[in-house]
Every structure is written in C-alpha cells, then in structure tokens.
Amino acid sequence: MNILLKTIDAHVAGQPLRLIVEGFPNPVGPTMLTKQRWLTKHHDGLRRLLMLEPRGHTDMCGAVLTEPVETGSHAGVLFMNTQGFGLVSIDGVIGVVTVALEKGLLQVADETDIRLDTPVGTVRAMATREGDRVNQVSVVAVPSFVSVPRVDVKLGARDVSLDVAFGGDFYVIIDSETAGVPILPSYVPALSALGMEIAGVVESRVNVSHPELSHLRGLHGTIFTGLPHADDADLRSVTVSVNGQVDRSPGGNGTAAVMSVLDAMNLLPVDRPFVHESIIGTSFEGRIEQRILVGETSAIVPSVTGAAWITGDHAFVLDARDPVGHGFLL
C-alpha cells in the first residue's frame, strides 16, 4: 500500500522548511505538548519519511498545522527535524506564516496579529505583504534569558569562557575566535564537530533547565558568534545542534538567545534593530519588545523579523516494496 503525503517546501533565510499540507494525521490531545507526544508515539514514522533521506537530508526541518488549543489562536503548529519533534522554531513560524498566507491555508482577519499555539505557548506573528507576496514576518519570541553566565571549560589546550542562554531552546554561546574556528561555509565540518563537543562538555557540567517550565531542559546546541561580514550587520553566527545539524539561517531561537546575552552585557543597539548575520550571509532583525522576570531571572521578550520563499509543491509516496523508503541518514 502506498502512502501519499503532500507538502509545500520553502526556505527561511536559507534554512529549509517542509510544511505538510495533506496526508498527515490530525494529532490528538488537549494541549500542544500532548499532541506532540501523541504524534511521537503513533506516527513518528511519517516524520522520518519526510525528514530523512531519500526525501530529506541531515539538516531538514518540517512543520504541520493543527487545530488551536487556546481561545483566540488561529492554529497550532508542531515542528520536526531528523531527530524528532521540536518545541518551537522562530524560523519555522516565519516560514509557516509565509506559506500559509500565500497559499491560503490560514484565514486571518488581521495579518498583523497572527497567533499560533506551540508546545511552549502561543506565539504571535505579524506579516507584511505586497499583493500576494508576504515580504516579511515578525515573530514575538518566548521570554529569553541568560541561564548560566560565564562557564569556564577546557577545549583541548584552550581555556574558554562561554554562556548558556535560552531563546525557545537552550544554547551554549561562544565566540568563534576563542573557539579557534571561523564562521565560514568551508569550516562547517569543523564547526559541526566542535559544536557537538562543546555541548557535550557543558551538559556534563551544568544543569540546564527552565525555571518555570519543567519539560524544557537540556541543550539544543552551540552558537558560534563573530564579527559580521556585511557593513549593516551587528554580529555573525552559526548554530550547531547537539547532533551536528548546522543552521543556514541566523537561527530564530538562536537570535533570541544571543540577544539576551548581548543585552546582559549592554551590547545591544538601543536606537535601531539588531541585525544578525548567518554563515551564508542572510540576516534576521531583532528588537526588544518587553522586559520581564522568568522566575527570579531577568529576561527580554524579543521579536525576530525575517523572510521566507516558497521553493516547491511536492507529493511524496512510500512504496511498501522500497527497502529504504521509511528513511535513513548517513
């Protein structure tokens, strides 16, 4: 028996996004977290089918729209990659909103107040468009904060200092010059290997957990930061997940986490947006919308603005006779 799944593919500042629009089950549960767990238990094979080779690749990301769980929300959204289902992706929200509006999948009265439910709460987005084209999407991120400042670790012969920050996921944030690897595409294998090593060292030494949300714990990856290449950018960075996946975009969650570190150091621009450059030269803009406390920790509520482009409409099938059709990774 053949399985048919339809998707609309896009990229967000270079980061791939595969939005599933047909053939995926409607997840069961009263909250987005229970919906996510239901999909993980009952239909993780469909995630693998779309994210892994031969239909996806190591750095593939995806999403699926669901019914909302909160009054006033327009939809729910669950994100996924090759490792499993994620909690929230700001890149993903930018892509999902762009695709959903341009393709008529999401009907909203006010495109400046779009509300999407995620496993970490309701996320607000604002779209600006010109005709049928969505030019950019701004997403109000979750409260972001420095979780563990100035962690001193040894990397080979190097003694380095780094921070752990939260922006929807937990990240180690380290200066690339200190780490000894430049943020260039030709150094992606070295960045990937070192990023995984750093995350492993920090996880073994630091208890990484959210002060209010008990299901948010553990590192998502390592962010290497450095001087920008573009004249109008403030910072260049690349995010490496704990499994070695490398972001093409500046990283939406990563932008929020980096902003929290820069704000704690009084290094964020106050009279203009923070321009965050990726390893391939694309950029996001960030602004501080609010200052709050998360538990007893000072936090910012940032917004992140970026653009997405649709790259194709796809119909994927699974032939039961295909020996590798369910997915694999090298």
Q: What is the CATH classification number for the domain harbouring 195?
A: 3.10.310.10
Distances (CA, A) of 125 to 94, 108, 140: 8, 12, 6
β-strands 219-226, 170-175 pairing:
parallel
150 lies in the same domain as 213: yes
104 lies in the same domain as 168: no
The Cα 143–Cα 299 span in angstroms is 6
> Does residue 323 fall inside a structural domain?
no
Residue 167, pLDDT score: 94
> Does residue 326 fall inside a structural domain?
no
**Token representation of residue 80:** 């996924």
Contact at 8 Å (CB) between 45 and 55?
no
Number of domains in the chain: 2
The string of pLDDT tens digits covering residues 103-150 is 999 989 898 899 999 998 899 999 999 988 999 999 999 999 999 999
Torsional class of 191: left (φ above 0), alpha (ψ -120 to 50), beta (otherwise): alpha
104 lies in the same domain as 155: no
131 lies in the same domain as 158: no
Residue 53 is classified by DSSP as B
The string of pLDDT tens digits covering residues 22-31 is 999 999 999 9
Residue 158, pLDDT score: 84
| Tokens 């190591």 -> residue | 58
What domain range includes position 217? 145-305
298 lies in the same domain as 192: yes
Contact at 8 Å (CB) between 62 and 48?
no
> Does residue 98 fall inside a structural domain?
yes
291 lies in the same domain as 220: yes
Residue 1, pLDDT score: 52
Which residues of the chain are under the pLDDT cut of 70?
1
**Token representation of residue 3:** 């399985």
Name the β-bridge partners of 83.
none
> Does residue 329 fall inside a structural domain?
no
180 lies in the same domain as 269: yes
80 lies in the same domain as 221: no
13 lies in the same domain as 83: yes
H or E stretch covering 254: helix 252-264
